[in-house]
Amino acid sequence: MYITIIEDEKVLSNNISKKLLKNWFNTKIINSYNDFINQSSIESDLYVIDISLRDWNGFDIIKYLREDKDINSPIIITSWYTDAERKIYWLDLWADDYLAKPFTAEELIARIRALLRRSYKVSWNSKASYNGFIYDIKNKKIKKDWIEIDLTPAELKLAEFLLFNVWKLISKEQLINSVWWEYDLTKITDNNINVTVSKLRKKLWDDFKLKTLVNKGYILQK
Which pLDDT tens digit goes with each residue over 182-222? 666 667 788 888 999 999 999 998 889 999 998 888 999 98
pLDDT of 30: 92
User: What distances in angstroms separate CA 218 from CA 20, 115, 117, 132, 221, one per listed residue?
Assistant: 22, 22, 18, 20, 9
Q: What is the pLDDT confidence band of residue 164, given thresholds at 50, 70 and 90?
A: confident
Q: Which amino acid is at 191?
A: N
The Cβ of residue 89 has, within 10 Å, a number of other Cβ atoms equal to 11
**What mean pLDDT do residues 141-167 have?**
89
Q: Is 134 exposed, middle or buried (0-12, 13-18, 19+ CB in 10 A)?
A: middle
Residue 23 has pLDDT above 80, yes or no: no
Q: Residue 64 in 3-state DSSP?
A: helix
Which pLDDT tens digit goes with each residue over 38-59? 875 667 889 999 988 877 778 8
- Is the separation of the CB atoms in 79 and 103 below 8 Å? no
Displacement of CA 192 from its chain's centroid (Å): 19
With a pLDDT cut of 70, the percent of the chain lying above it is 89
**What is the three-state SS of 133-146?**
EEEECCCCEEEECC
pLDDT of 182: 61
Residue 140 has pLDDT above 60, yes or no: yes
Question: Which range (13-22, 89-98, 113-122) has the least confidence?
Answer: 113-122
pLDDT of 208: 92
pLDDT of 220: 92
Q: Which stretches within the chain are classed as H helix?
A: 10-22, 33-37, 58-63, 84-93, 105-119, 153-163, 172-179, 190-204
Q: Residue 193 in 3-state DSSP?
A: helix
**What mean pLDDT do residues 4-22 have?**
90
Counts for the chain of helices (H) and strands (E), in that order: 8, 11
What's the whole-number average pLDDT of the chain?
A: 83
pLDDT of 65: 87
Cα 141 to Cα 172: distance, rounded to the nearest angstrom: 24
Q: Which amino acid is at 187?
A: K
Structural domains in the chain, CATH included, are 2-119 (3.40.50.2300), 127-221 (1.10.10.10)
pLDDT of 119: 61
Cα 126 to Cα 142: distance, rounded to the nearest angstrom: 12
Q: What is the DSSP letter of 170?
A: B
